[in-house]
Structure 1
Amino acid sequence: MENENTQQPAFLFGKKNYIIMIVGIIFIALGFIFMAGGGSDNPEVFNEEIYNWQRIRLAPTLVIIGLGIEIYAILANPKK
Structure 2
Amino acid sequence: MAKDKQYGSATLTREEPAQKAPISTTPVAKPAPLRKPISETSHRETASAALPFGRQNYVLMLAGIAVILAGFFIMSLDKEEFGFGFLGLTLGPIVVMSGFVLEFFAILSRPKV
Higher relative contact order, structure no. (Cα contacts within 8 Å, ≥ 6 residues apart): 1
Structure 1 segments, 4+ long, off by >4 Å, are 4-10
Whether 1:77 and 2:110 are equivalent positions in the alignment is yes
Matched-pair identity in % = 33
Q: TM-score, normalised by structure 1?
A: 0.69
Partner Cα distance (1:68, 1:50) in 2: 24
Code of the aligned partner of 1:51 = F
What stretches of structure 2 of length at least 5 have no aligned partner?
Answer: 1-36
Describe the SS at the equivalent of 1:12: coil
Match of 1:21 in 2: 61
> Any residues of structure 2 matched to 1:52-71 within 5 Å, and which?
52-71=85-104
Structure whose CA Rg is larger: 2
Match of 1:44 in 2: none
